[in-house]
Amino acid sequence: MKLRVLVSLKPGVLDAQGRAIEHALRDLGYTQVSGVRTGKLIVLDLDTPDPEKARALAAEACEKLLANPVIEQYEILS
């Protein structure tokens, strides 16, 4: 099965890329945009039919490698 993992900077950690995108959007006239945060989507192909096991495995991968807990948070999407 496939699991998608969304890794992003924790709130409060400066997202320089998000801020640059926000400025560009405002320059384009989208003045309603008052904040942009970026992240990365990682798609895992897992050789297990058991959704619970798959999620546990994905969470472990996030803790060990995919996210750095000092600055990043992760969310496991289906």
Name which of 71 and 77 has its Cβ closer to another protein.
71
Q: Which is nearer to another protein, 5 or 54 (CB)?
A: 5
Q: Which is nearer to another protein, 24 or 56 (CB)?
A: 24
Rounded to a whole number of angstroms, the minimum distance from the CB of residue 31 to another protein is 22
- Per-residue burial over 33-66, b = 16 or more CB atoms within 10 Å of its CB, e = otherwise: eeebeebeebebebeeeeeeebbebbeebbeeeb
Please state the φ and ψ torsions of residue 44, each to the nearest 5 degrees: -105, 130
Q: How far is the CB of 50 from another protein (least distance, A)?
A: 26
Residues at the site binding another protein, with contacts judged by CB under 8 A: 9, 13-14, 16-17, 20, 65-66, 68, 70-71
